[in-house]
């Protein structure tokens, strides 16, 4: 174990990274409308994305295909060297960061070239021109692709890949933290009751199963209470902040000059365009499922041993799975529809964590429902066995049992 | 019979913890559950308290099979016992009492009665971790009896108590018995068995090897040894009715122990000795429970 540990740690961070680079074999078609005709040929198709040049007239026809065999429409309306904002991706799902980066870097390169060409066309190169070259190179990456979402009701709204990514990451970290934290709290509580031997007094009045269910429910509710407090505070803070920024005239001087150069209003808009209600409902559903699943496992192992030191052998694999899920979630952000993200969000042991990354990018309802059904089914099954083992384990002292012995306990009357 | 178990069997992975154990506990008596460590006493108690279920056999309470509600009518003080360390004494006792079906008001009233009886009313707001082991034991004893159950099970109740407090617990047990409660006492302290128990069952290697009234059992184990204290300086007397077991001086007296032949009447033996010696005292040596225990377990 001592020698394997570093190997495991490395594997843990690299395996999901490698898995995230696999593509799902489904090529995403992207229609390109380039009114300038300069940029479209630069977009090279890859294994994952195929670019297809269409003209303005076809736009309507292609728009109706979005979400079916077309992933997105990329529209460039003006010469980007003059207006760096004139590029938009319209898609049904949230545009993955990966695609955006790819498009931006291709465009950036061309725009830089264009600007340098313009400069050289002006004739003699003087000091002024050199400083301009410098600024062109510095500004090299000012192309920013606007991403638009094609809503269910046919409306088009501005969306933000960054916001989706940030929200996904925040919720992933939250759910990972809470599952681990409150799962551990359950483990500590079980251990403490066993160590202090109060458990024998307790089970002479209540059924062990009720004791376990009560403990998991109680600690779970503490978790949810804490989440609600955090949620409400964040909401209040955000709302007051957005009000403050949205009306700078009313509070002159309060907003520093540099702040206004940010597109704060745009960010606010994008944040508000996120379907918070859906995300929070799913977050709670997945938190409850994931928490009960892991808390049952933690309680099961804690009940079987006498002291904290003995738990490590059993806890290690469980912790590794949770950490794997965390890394898988982390790396899925760039490609939230890839196979790692897809399977990670379906398999019950990783789904609560990985699903959080995918939610803001918009995924089909059936995937969410299937994932929930699998998760809840698994926790019912696992907690059934956990309760059986817990019932026997809390009254067993002495030798640390093997997994084989614990399986035998399930059959005890 | 208040409590009966009939042919209770419990099998764990690699060993048989109880092998057809049947005990009978009459109402309003103290029943000693004896046996060496690992004999299966705790398992039997856990079956009676419905913590675990037997593989086969039954537990009868008042003649009918026990049901889950019966736990409210049992007070169980486990051998390995503890309390929630961070909780306050009063809160914890209240919690345990309510867990056993008492209303808040009843629990509080009962608790106060017991706290006053044990003279610990001023502990109510102290944390358990601040108490000494003996003090914790008192709280545990109270939370065992607070819901006024008809069946009380004490597993090694005297461990951790000083002699004064042990005596107090002993008196409480006798008082509970006088109130008509049925008590099961599991202990290795044979003196307290003799002092408290009406009946006992001795479990050895997962089986009941001895069961009955304490005095009957002791009498059954008598070895026909009689003790005489003589005012004589020596004892040299041989007779086919008895054999001398031991002889030692005690101050100005001589103590002798003789084993009489089973067919010889006690009176005859006494007459023989009384005729020849100046007898100050004499009695039959009835084995203590300690002797019975050791003899039964080591044979």
DSSP summary character for residue B86 = T
CA distance A159 to A90: 9
A396: which chain B residues are within 8 Å (Cβ-Cβ)? none
CB A385 within 8 A of CB A410: yes
Check residue A23 and give its pLDDT: 63
The C-alpha atoms of residue B156 and residue B167 are separated, in whole angstroms, by: 14
* Minimal-distance CA residue of chain A relative to B55: A413
In whole angstroms, how far apart are CA A149 and each of A162, A192, A274? 14, 52, 11
A55 neighbors A76 (Cβ within 8 angstroms) = no
Say yes or no to pLDDT of A288 above 80. Answer: yes
- Average pLDDT score over residue span A276-285: 88
Q: Please enumerate residues of B whose Cβ is less than 8 A from a Cβ of A.
A: 12-13, 46, 49, 51-55, 68, 71-72, 74, 76, 78, 80-85, 96, 99-100, 140, 143
Given a cut of 70, whether residue A396 has pLDDT beyond it is: yes
Q: What is the mean pLDDT of residues A309-326?
A: 85
Q: What is the mean pLDDT of chain A?
A: 81
Contact A198 B49 (CB under 8 A): no
pLDDT value, residue A406:
83
Average pLDDT value for residue range A331-337: 79
Query: Quick one: pLDDT band at residue A154, thresholds 50, 70, 90?
Result: low
Of the listed ranges A80-89, B22-31, B45-54, the least confidently predicted one is: A80-89
> Are B82 and A196 a contacting pair at CB < 8 A?
yes
How does residue B9 score in pLDDT terms, banded at 50, 70 and 90? very high
How does residue A397 score in pLDDT terms, banded at 50, 70 and 90? confident
Sign of CA dihedral B284, B287, B289, B292: negative
What does the pLDDT read at residue A24? Answer: 62
Comparing A226 with A59, the larger pLDDT belongs to: A226
Q: What is the pLDDT of residue A260?
A: 42
Rg of the Cα atoms in chain A: 27
User: Residue A377: what pLDDT?
Assistant: 95
- How confident is the model over A126-149, as a mean pLDDT? 71
Kindly identify which residue of chain A lies nearest to residue B84, measuring between CA atoms.
A198
Task: Mark out the alpha helices in B206-258 (DSSP H runs).
Answer: 214-220
Residue closest to B146 by CA, chosen among B172, B113, B168: B113
Which chain A residue lies closest to B70 (C-alpha atoms)? A205
B96 → closest Cβ in A201, A405, A412: A201
Nearest Cα neighbor of B136 from A202, A191, A199, A196 is: A196
At residue B177, the pLDDT reads 95
What DSSP string describes A229-294? Answer: HHHHHHHHHHHHHHHHHH-GGGSTTTS-HHHHHS-HHHHHHHHHHS-HHHHHHHHHHHHHHHHHHH
Backbone dihedral angles phi then psi of residue A157, each to the nearest 5 degrees: -130, 155
C-alpha span between A213 and A222 (Å, rounded): 14
* Residue B103: Cβ-neighbour burial (10 angstroms; 0-12, 13-18, 19+): exposed
pLDDT confidence of residue A310: 81
Residues of A within 8 A of B99 (CB-CB) are 202, 205-206
Residue to substitute from B37, B56, B69, B80, interface A, most A β-carbons within 10 A? B80
**Average pLDDT for residues A385-407, to the nearest whole number?**
84
Please indicate whether, in this complex, the C-beta atoms of A412 and B12 are within 8 angstroms of each other.
Answer: yes
Which 8-state DSSP code applies to residue A70? B
Measured over all CA atoms, what is the biggest interatomic distance in chain B, rounded to whole angstroms?
A: 74
> Chain B partners of A200 at a C-beta cutoff of 8 Å?
51, 78, 80-82
Average pLDDT for A167-184: 90
pLDDT of residue A263: 60
Residue scoring higher pLDDT (A409 or B151): B151
Contact status, residue B289 vs residue B195, Cβ threshold 8 Å:
no
- List residues bridging with B10 in a β-sheet: B18
Q: What is the pLDDT of residue A264?
A: 65
Nearest to A390 by CA among B14, B57, B51: B51
Interchain proximity B51–A203, CB inside 8 Å:
yes
* Straight-line distance from the first to the last Cα atom of chain B, in angstroms, rounded to the nearest whole number: 31
d(CA B47, CA B54): 6
Strand partners, B39: none
Cα A257 to chain centroid, rounded: 33
Chain B partners within 8 Å of A408 (Cβ): 13
**From CA A220, how far away is CA A293, in angstroms rounded?**
11
Cα–Cα distance, A276 to A281 (Å, whole number): 8
**Cα separation, B31 vs B200, whole angstroms:** 5
Inter-chain contact A413–B74, Cβ cutoff 8 Å? no
Q: What is the ipTM of this complex?
A: 0.79
Which residues of chain B does A413 touch, with a Cβ-Cβ cutoff of 8 Å?
52-55
Mean pLDDT of chain B: 90
On the question of pLDDT at B174 being above 90, the answer is yes
How large is the average pLDDT for residues B41-51? 91
Q: Which SS3 state, helix, strand or coil, does residue B264 take? A: coil
Listed residue (A163, A132, A150) closest to A91, CA to CA:
A150
Task: End-to-end CA distance of chain A: give it in Å, rounded.
Answer: 35
Q: What is the mean predicted confidence (pLDDT) over A1-30?
A: 74
pLDDT at A124 over 50: yes
Q: In this complex, do A198 and B55 lie within 8 Å of one another by their Cβ atoms? A: no
Section B119-135 average pLDDT: 88
Kind and range of the H or E run holding B42: helix B41-48
In this prediction, residues A111-118 reach a mean pLDDT of 80
Predicted confidence (pLDDT) per residue in B185-227, tens digit: 999 989 899 999 999 999 999 999 999 999 999 988 888 899 9
Is A198 in Cβ contact with B83 (below 8 Å)?
Answer: yes
Contact list in B for residue A204 (CB cut-off 8 A) is 49, 51, 71, 74, 76, 78
pLDDT at A313 over 90: no
* pTM as predicted: 0.77
pLDDT-wise least confident of A48-57, A66-75, A134-143, B69-78: A134-143
What is the DSSP code (8-state) at residue B12? -
Note whether B13 contacts A405, CB cutoff 8 Å. yes
Residues of A with CB under 8 A from a CB of B: 193, 195-208, 395, 397, 405, 408, 412-413
Instruction: Please compute the mean of the pLDDT values over residues B18-47 and round it to a whole number.
Output: 93
Highest mean pLDDT among A115-119, A221-225, A394-398, B67-71: A221-225
CB contact under 8 A, A204 and B84: no
Binary contact (A413, B78; C-beta < 8 A) = no
Give the tens place of pLDDT for each residue, B69-122: 888 899 999 988 888 888 999 999 999 999 888 999 999 999 999 999 888 888
Class of B3-219 in CATH = alpha beta
The predicted pLDDT at position B213 comes to 94
Mean pLDDT within A29-36:
85
Contact B81 A205 (CB under 8 A): no
Three-state DSSP at A328 gives helix
Query: How would you class A161 by CB atoms within 10 Å of its CB: exposed for 0-12, middle for 13-18, buried for 19 or more?
Result: buried
- Give the pLDDT confidence of A90-111 residue by residue, as tens digits: 887 777 777 888 888 888 888 8
- Average pLDDT (B135-151) is 91
Q: Write the CA distances from A401 to A302, A311, A411, B84, integer angstroms.
A: 11, 11, 15, 26
Q: What is the pLDDT of residue A66?
A: 75
A205/B140 Cβ within 8 A: no
By Cβ distance, the residue of B46, B83, B99 closest to A205 is B99
Q: Quick one: closest CA in A to B52, which residue?
A: A413
Q: Tell which of B50, B77, B78, B186 to mutate to test the A interface (max A CBs under 10 Å).
A: B78
Mean of pLDDT values over A332-347: 84
Task: Give how far Cα B20 sits from Cα of A138, B55, B186, B206, Å.
Answer: 89, 10, 19, 8
User: How far is B172 from chain A, CA to nearest CA, in Å?
Assistant: 20
For A196, the closest chain B residue by CA position comes to B82
Is residue A168 packed enough to be buried (19+ CB in 10 Å), middle (13-18) or exposed (0-12)? buried
Lowest mean pLDDT: which of A218-227, B12-21, B177-186? B12-21
Which pLDDT value is given to residue A306?
84
Query: What was the pLDDT predicted at A261?
Result: 43
> Of all residues in chain A, what percent carry a pLDDT higher than 90?
18
Size of interface A-B (CB pairs under 8 A): 56
Q: Do A196 and B83 touch (CB under 8 A)?
A: yes
A413 contacts B76? CB cut-off 8 A? no
The pLDDT of residue A256: 44
pLDDT at residue A250, as a whole number: 45
**Which CA distances in Å does A233 have to A238, A271, A398, B176?**
8, 16, 47, 57
Contacts of A190 (CB under 8 A, 6+ apart): A212, A215, A298, A299, A302, A303, A390, A394
Interacting residues of B82 by C-beta distance below 8 A, sequence separation 6+: A195, A196, A197, A198, A199, A200, A201
Which residue among B12, B46, B81 sits closest to A201, beta carbon to beta carbon? Answer: B81
């Amino acid at each position: 174990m001592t020698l394997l540990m570093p190997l495991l740690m490395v594997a843990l961070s690299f395996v999901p990274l490698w898995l995230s680079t696999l593509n799902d074999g489904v090529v995403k078609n992207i229609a390109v409308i380039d009114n300038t005709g300069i940029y479209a040929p630069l977009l090279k198709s890859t294994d994952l994305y195929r670019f297809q040049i269409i003209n303005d007239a076809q736009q309507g026809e292609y728009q109706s295909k979005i979400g079916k065999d077309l992933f997105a429409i990329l529209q460039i309306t003006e010469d980007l060297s003059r207006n760096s904002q004139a590029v938009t991706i319209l898609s049904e799902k949230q545009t993955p960061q990966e695609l955006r980066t790819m498009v931006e870097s291709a465009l950036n390169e061309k725009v830089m070239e264009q600007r340098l060409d313009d400069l050289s066309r002006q004739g003699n190169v003087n000091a002024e021109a050199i400083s301009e070259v410098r600024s062109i190179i510095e500004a090299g990456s000012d192309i920013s692709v606007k991403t638009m979402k094609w809503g269910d009701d046919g409306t088009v709204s501005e969306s933000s890949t960054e916001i989706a990514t940030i929200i996904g990451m925040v919720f992933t970290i939250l759910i990972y933290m809470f599952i681990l934290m409150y799962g551990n709290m359950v483990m500590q509580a079980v251990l403490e009751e066993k160590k202090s031997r109060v458990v024998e007094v307790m089970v002479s009045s209540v059924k062990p199963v009720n004791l376990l269910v009560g403990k998991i429910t109680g600690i779970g509710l503490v978790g949810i209470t804490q989440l609600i407090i955090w949620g409400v505070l964040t909401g209040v803070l955000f709302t007051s902040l957005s009000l403050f920024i949205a009306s700078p005239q009313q509070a002159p001087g309060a907003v520093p000059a540099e702040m206004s150069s940010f597109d704060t209003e745009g960010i606010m808009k994008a944040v508000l365009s996120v379907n918070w209600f859906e995300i929070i409902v799913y977050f709670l559903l997945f938190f409850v499922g994931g928490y009960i699943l892991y808390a049952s496992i933690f309680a099961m192992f804690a009940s079987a041993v006498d002291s904290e030191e003995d738990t490590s052998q059993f806890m290690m694999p469980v912790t590794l799975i949770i950490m794997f899920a965390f890394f898988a979630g982390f790396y899925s952000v760039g490609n939230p529809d890839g196979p790692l993200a897809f399977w990670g969000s379906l398999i019950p042991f990783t789904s609560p964590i990985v699903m959080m990354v995918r939610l803001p990018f918009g995924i089909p309802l059936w995937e969410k429902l299937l994932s929930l059904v699998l998760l809840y089914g698994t926790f019912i099954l696992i907690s059934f066995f956990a309760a059986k083992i817990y019932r026997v384990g809390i009254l067993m002292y002495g030798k640390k049992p093997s997994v084989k012995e614990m399986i035998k306990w399930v059959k005890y009357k | 019979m208040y409590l009966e178990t009939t042919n209770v069997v419990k099998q764990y992975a690699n060993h048989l913890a109880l092998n057809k154990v049947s005990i009978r506990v009459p109402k309003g008596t103290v029943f000693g559950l004896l046996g060496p460590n690992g004999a299966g006493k705790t398992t039997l108690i856990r079956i009676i308290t419905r913590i675990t279920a037997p593989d086969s056999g039954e537990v009868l309470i008042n003649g009918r099979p026990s049901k889950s509600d019966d736990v409210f009518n049992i007070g169980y003080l486990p051998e390995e016992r503890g309390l929630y360390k961070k909780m306050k004494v009063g809160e914890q006792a209240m919690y345990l009492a309510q867990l056993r079906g008492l209303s808040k008001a009843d629990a509080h009233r009962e608790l106060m009665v017991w706290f006053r009886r044990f003279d610990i009313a001023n502990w109510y707001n102290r944390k358990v971790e601040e108490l000494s082991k003996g003090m914790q034991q008192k709280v545990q004893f109270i939370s065992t009896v607070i819901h006024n159950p008809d069946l009380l099970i004490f597993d090694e109740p005297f461990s951790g108590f000083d002699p004064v407090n042990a005596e107090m617990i002993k008196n409480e047990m006798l008082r509970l018995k006088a109130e008509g409660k049925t008590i099961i006492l599991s202990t290795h302290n044979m003196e307290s068995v003799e002092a408290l128990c009406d009946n006992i069952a001795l479990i050895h290697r997962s089986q009941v090897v001895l069961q009955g009234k304490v005095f009957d059992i002791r009498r059954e184990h008598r070895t026909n040894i009689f003790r005489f204290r003589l005012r004589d300086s020596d004892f040299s007397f041989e007779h086919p009715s008895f054999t001398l077991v031991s002889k030692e001086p005690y101050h100005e007296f001589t103590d002798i122990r003789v084993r009489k032949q089973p067919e010889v009447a006690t009176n005859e033996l006494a007459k023989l000795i009384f005729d020849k010696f100046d007898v100050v005292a004499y009695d039959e040596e009835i084995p203590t429970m300690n002797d019975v225990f050791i003899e039964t377990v080591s044979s």
